[in-house]
Each structure stands twice: as structure tokens, then as C-alpha cells.
Amino acid sequence: LMQISIPLNFIGFLYREIRQGLADIESMFDLLLVPAEIKDKPGAGDLQAVEGKIAFKDVRFHYDPDRPILKGIDFEVPAGKTVAIVGPSGAGKSTISRLLFRFYDVTDGAVEIDGQDVRDVTQESVRHAIGMVPQDTVLFNDTIAYNIRYGRPDASEEEVREAARMAQIHDFIEKLPQGYQAEVGERGLKLSGGEKQRVAIARTILKAPPILILDEATSALDTHTEREIQSALDEVSQNRTTLVIAHRLSTVVNADQIIVLEAGEIAERGTHLELLDKGGLYASMWARQREADEAEERLRAAREND
């Protein structure tokens, strides 16, 4: 029995180690967004991101040659302004954010920041200029403080705490037995989707970059927490160029421009009021969201009366 259980244990141990190793590598890629196929041009200089103006110029993109995803996307975000992208799931919204971050290169057309094609400058300088709260955050296997400070390694302890407060995660951290020194990630404490999202928001608040990408940044939060964080996000996005991909339309009402993406094409664009007036896709999405919100409200009221 001994003879057999030792090797089996050992195999189990090896299996877990290898699987963990792979998970670590995966998280690194997700967090740093460094796909192997994107390489800097020889002698590429740094992005000179002074203003933070974004331009997508007739951008076409596919992951797989026989399935075009973006079919000619043209838009600009003037420095300091907010553009929202809405549309059905699978329309290509997150793909737009990945191209801006240069997670992938465009198939045709160009993505520019302050007039510089992102393919002509170093990826590091592009990533430095952008703060991204992705749809799914993967944390480093390190302390929660490290995960927040990653946004700005020279930040003081108090600045880390202040960012955590703004992201509504400070109280949660303080209640952990090891507080800010608690180990998180695959090997440590497993955080919920909403908690991870708040860590990513704290990191971005701390980084305070010229350009912000919020990809359904509050989708894993309950309505109450979402509302509280929204004001912190509104504050960071003040005077910063912001690309917000929204799931909940109420968060885009104040955007300078709303782009409605459908199957890789811009179906409509305008302000909230202009799009409601138009009575098209956005107006029907808005009406549907209102109905869903009201139904949810009735359900909650009924539950409270029970």
C-alpha cells in the first residue's frame, strides 16, 4: 500500500504544480496583456502621450481570417472626453479596447494616440499611458497591497489605502486577518468577481493615467456598490480621455458621445438624447433596460413585503 500511495501522491503533487504553473503564466498574460505575436518595431520610440486623443481610422480586424470581427470602425475621442461603446454581446466592444491597448494589431486601418500609430511606438509606453479595468480581472499571486500598488509602484501606503477607499474595497481588506498583506490570486485568498473588479478599479485610480478604458468595469457589482464606485470612476475620468464599454446604459447617459456597435459596425452614434430621439437600436435597448430595471425593482419590493 505504501509503495503505491507514494508515487500516486507524487503524481498528484506534480499535476497540481504544473497546473498552477500554467495558471500563473495565464494570469501574467491577462494582466500584462503581452501577447507573444505583438513585437515592437526595431528602434521604436516611446509614445508621446501628452493630450490623450484617440483615433480609430477605418479599423478592420479578425482573430480568424474567415471571420471578420470589426468591419471599418471610425471614431475619435478628443483629449479629456468620454466616449461610450454599447451594443449586443459579441458585437466587438472588448476587441476595440484590446486594439487600443495593442493587445492585438489591426488587420487594416490604424489606431492612433495623439496622432501616433500605436504600431510605431513601444508597447510599454502605450500600456503606461492607459489604465484598463478589463471585463475579467486576474490578480497576481501576491499581496493585495502589491496588486493595487502595481498601478503605480512608487505610491505610498496612504495613497494605496486612499485608492482602495475610493474603490470601496478598503473596509473589506481591513477585515482580512492579514489586511493589506493578505496573499491573493490562484494560490492565496480567492476573491469574488466583484472584489477583484474593485481591486482593479483601485489600481487604476492609483495609476491615474491619461487614458482610461473601462470594459464593463462594474458588471460584477450589485447596484448599490456600483453606484458608489461610479462616482469614484466619474472623478478619475474627469479631464481624462475615457473609453467606457457599458453593460448598464444608465452609466453612459453623460458620455460626450455614445457609439452603438452591432456585428462589428457602428450602427448609430450621438449623445444619449440624440439617440433616444432617433428611435433606433439605442432607443430600443434603453426601453428594454428600463423594463428590466422596473421588473427587478418590483421583485425586490415584493420580496421585502414577504
Smallest distance, Mg ion to C-beta of residue 94, A: 3
Angle at 193 between CA 180 and CA 64, to 5 degrees: 125
> Among residues 94 and 257, whose Cβ is nearest to ligand ADP?
94
Site residue total, Mg ion (CB under 5 A): 2
103: region left, alpha or beta (phi > 0 left; psi from -120 to 50 alpha): alpha
Transcribe 185-218 into DSSP letters: SSSSBPPPHHHHHHHHHHHHHHH--SEEEEESTT
Q: Which residue, 22, 51, 94, is CA-closest to 245?
A: 94
Question: 52, 61, 94, 201: which one contacts Mg ion (CB under 5 A)?
Answer: 94
Smallest distance, ligand ADP to C-beta of residue 283, A: 19
Backbone angles phi and psi of 111, in degrees to 5: -115, 125
Q: Which does 241 bind (CB under 5 to 8 A by kind): Mg ion, ligand ADP, none?
A: none
Burial 240-266 (b: 16+ CB within 10 A, else e): bbbbbbbbbbbbbeebebbbbbeebeb
Smallest distance, Mg ion to C-beta of residue 215, A: 6
Q: Which does 138 bind (CB under 5 to 8 A by kind): Mg ion, ligand ADP, none?
A: none
Q: Judge whether 231 and 220 are in contact, CB under 8 Å.
A: no
Smallest distance, ligand ADP to C-beta of residue 135, A: 7
Q: Is the dihedral of CA 21, 23, 27, 33 positive or negative?
A: positive
Q: Which does 161 bind (CB under 5 to 8 A by kind): ligand ADP, Mg ion, none?
A: none
Binding mask 135-174 for ligand ADP (x = CB under 6 A): ----------------------------------------
Residue 116 binds to ligand ADP (criterion: CB under 6 A): no
Please give the residues from 31 up to 70 whose contact with ligand ADP meets the rule CB under 6 A. Answer: 63-64, 69
Smallest distance, ligand ADP to C-beta of residue 281, A: 14
> Among residues 116 and 204, whose Cβ is nearest to Mg ion?
204
> Among residues 147 and 242, whose Cβ is nearest to ligand ADP?
242
CA dist 2 and 276 (Å) reads 73
Transcribe 112-132 into DSSP letters: EETTEEGGGB-HHHHHHHEEE
CA dist 15 and 74 (Å) reads 48
Binding mask 83-102 for ligand ADP (x = CB under 6 A): ------xxxxxxx-------
Q: Given the rule CB under 5 A, which residues bind Mg ion? A: 93-94
